[in-house]
Structure 1
Amino acid sequence: MSVTLASGDLEATFFPEAGMIGASLKHRGEEVLGQRGGLEAYRAERKTMGIPLLYPWANRLSARRFEVAGRTVDIDPERTPIRLDGSGLPMHGLLGAHPGWEAEATATSLTARFDFAAHPALLETFPFPHTLELDVTLDETMLRIVTIVRGEVPIAFGWHPYLTLPNVERADWHVEIPVTEQLALDDNMLPTGERSATHVPAGPLGDRAFDDAYTAPSAPFALEGGGRRIELAFEDGFPYAQVFAPPQDPLIAFEPMTAPTNALVTGTAALHTQYSAAFSIRVA
């Protein structure tokens, strides 16, 4: 069952029974989220699309069993279905397409709650009892998503909003990626710990491709073309970002992240008893 919010020129659809994924965001009736393999591929294979929540970690982990905050995380794909990358590394967390969300909606807002401790397989894998809350609001120009974690838990989650411009060639997309610091990645796309100053020129996407990690900028990321501008702002609680724009796929993802990739394994994911993070997508 889906929930659709509508206001002005915007319409957003979420699926609480499929991991609370934002499956659609339409502006003036046209889809501005990358659909990739679609909702069914997300449900069946955890292939991401739309706006998926990546929880309790975003991107990859370098190990399936490790210690964090004095507890053992033991990831077994047979016990808890997850997506693995080409090297067999766990991808994108445990809640992809997971049912169990309790949701309430109005015409322009959606609140949802997930009790992690109520799911024995999840708790056996990631032994931190806590609750997860989402507060989604839509107005005439903006979709805003607030994530709140309650309970003592290491924080390393993220979101992957895949954006697209309908009826505009990828090469003609104007992009603004106002980052100033890049995280070096190894051959497995895991941070090495090294950082460097960087500058990404604004302008046509052209034949440029991205799969890069940064500290989050203070200004919004932007995608523009065909008379439409999409801005994605990291409002609070997301100090890191990944930018993903594969060369053969007409989408770009500006990914809000609470910690660097692999932070649970490296021990750099901070322990919190309550954590709130917000991002927004503005379309005009």
Structure 2
Amino acid sequence: MPSLDDADAVTLTAGDLSAVFLPAHGMLGASLRYRDIEVLRRIDDLATAAEHGSTAGIPFLYPWANRLSELHYKKAGPEVTLERKSPLLHFDGNGLPIHGIPWARLAWTVIDRTPHSVTATLDWSRDDLLAVFPYRHRLSMTAYLRPDGLLIGTTIAADEAGPVPLSFGFHPYIGLPDVPRSEWRLVLPAMRKLGLDAQGIPSGKETEFDGFDAQLRKQSFDDGFALIRDEPNAMFSLVGGGLAITLALLEGYTHAQVYSPEDADFIALEPMTAATNALVTGNGLRLLIPGGTFNAAFGIGIGPTA
């Protein structure tokens, strides 16, 4: 079962920062520390999270982020009917398939490693993977730690046989130690807020969102957003206790989810390459051409406030 003590765990260091990734368990980001301060959340019991299919740390959500409204999709070419009993699927409280294949069930192969970076690959060619997402391709992920933060880049290389729909994302859980959540200052950029139904599925309506810059107090979030096209490099920040954590969407991401229940000790700032449920609706879904490559990158900056 996954843990920070795994034989294959990769520890990266740079200045005051250290990070741990688990290639054999979905390339999970299992720790990110500034000096002695752990900023990731839901990592205390990775074995239980893996057993239950729950997200933790910095999980890669693939081949779709968040929920699908049904078990059937066909907007990207082949018609797919997901099997509810599949061991490769996880479902939310409403019975909807969520976050693609759980992170713990995808083993990556490390192809390059330095004291401050690791690159791993995953071939999407197994029959069980193709039953969930029938598009042959190859994934590559690089985690690069710098003294001022962590950069995660993902590349999708499509097979010559056909296109690959792009609907993945990440779900970083972050928090500030020794500071009550109510006193965390959250900064969100201006975006388009997606209307969601009771199951968290976009309704097709959007409204202007002018941003947010305030202490959380009793504010909760479970919201989807579309980035403004003229400002694709969106910045999200969490500040408190003399520490600032900033998420920057650098390349390839068009949407984001912000999730933090009122009583949670975390906030999830989630980069997404498509809106929730795009595999089903086709709304805004991008297709990677046969033989093409797609790059996406985001960074998590960490450091003291001025």
TM-score, normalization by structure 1: 0.96
Alignment of 1:104-115 (within 5 A): 104-115=112-123
Answer yes or no: is the 8 Å Cα contact 2:222–2:259 preserved in 1.
yes
Are 1:139 and 2:150 matched, yes or no? no
Which amino acid in structure 1 is aligned with residue 190 of structure 2? V
Are 1:81 and 2:88 matched, yes or no? yes
Alpha-carbon shift at residue 65 of structure 1 (Å): 2.0
Which amino acid in structure 2 is aligned with residue 112 of structure 1? A
Answer yes or no: is the 8 Å Cα contact 1:37–1:47 preserved in 2.
no
Which amino acid in structure 2 is aligned with residue 173 of structure 1? W
Which amino acid in structure 1 is aligned with residue 198 of structure 2? D
Alignment of 1:187-206 (within 5 A): 187-206=198-217
From 220, 245, 256, the counterpart of 1:241: 256
From 282, 285, 303, the counterpart of 1:267: 282
CA separation of 1:263 and 1:99: change in aligned 2, threshold 3 A:
closer
Answer yes or no: is the 8 Å Cα contact 1:216–1:234 preserved in 2.
no
CA distances 1:37-61 after superposition (whole Å, capped 9, x unpaired): 6311231112111100000100000
Are 1:10 and 2:17 matched, yes or no? yes
Which amino acid in structure 2 is aligned with residue 69 of structure 1? A
Give the aligned CA root-mean-square deviation in angstroms: 1.4
Alpha-carbon shift at residue 247 of structure 1 (Å): 1.1
2:221 corresponds to: 210
CA distances 1:117-163 after superposition (whole Å, capped 9, x unpaired): 0x211112211010111011001111000011011300000001111
C-alpha distance in structure 2 between counterparts of 1:221 and 1:40, whole Å: 30
Are 1:28 and 2:35 matched, yes or no? yes
From 296, 299, 305, the counterpart of 1:277: 296
2:193 corresponds to: 182
Answer yes or no: is the 8 Å Cα contact 2:53–2:102 preserved in 1.
no
CA distances 1:186-211 after superposition (whole Å, capped 9, x unpaired): 11100011111122431111110000
Alignment of 1:32-181 (within 5 A): 32-35=39-42, 38-103=45-110, 104-117=112-125, 119-151=126-158, 152-181=163-192
Answer yes or no: is the 8 Å Cα contact 1:159–1:256 preserved in 2.
yes
Gaps (5+ residues) in structure 2? 1-7
2:268 corresponds to: 253
SS in 2 for 1:40: helix
Gaps (5+ residues) in structure 1? none
C-alpha distance in structure 2 between counterparts of 1:36 and 1:16, whole Å: 16
C-alpha distance in structure 1 between counterparts of 2:84 and 2:46, whole Å: 21
Moved more, 71-80 or 51-60: 71-80
CA distances 1:101-124 after superposition (whole Å, capped 9, x unpaired): 10132100010100010x211112
Alpha-carbon shift at residue 74 of structure 1 (Å): 2.5
Which amino acid in structure 1 is aligned with residue 114 of structure 2? T
Which amino acid in structure 2 is aligned with residue 253 of structure 1? A
CA separation of 1:233 and 1:71: change in aligned 2, threshold 3 A:
same
Answer yes or no: is the 8 Å Cα contact 1:72–1:127 preserved in 2.
no
Answer yes or no: is the 8 Å Cα contact 1:82–1:96 preserved in 2.
no
SS in 2 for 1:202: strand
SS in 1 for 2:144: strand
2:3 corresponds to: none
CA separation of 1:175 and 1:258: change in aligned 2, threshold 3 A:
same
CA distances 1:168-190 after superposition (whole Å, capped 9, x unpaired): 11011111011331010011100
CA separation of 1:36 and 1:3: change in aligned 2, threshold 3 A:
closer
Answer yes or no: is the 8 Å Cα contact 1:179–1:215 preserved in 2.
no
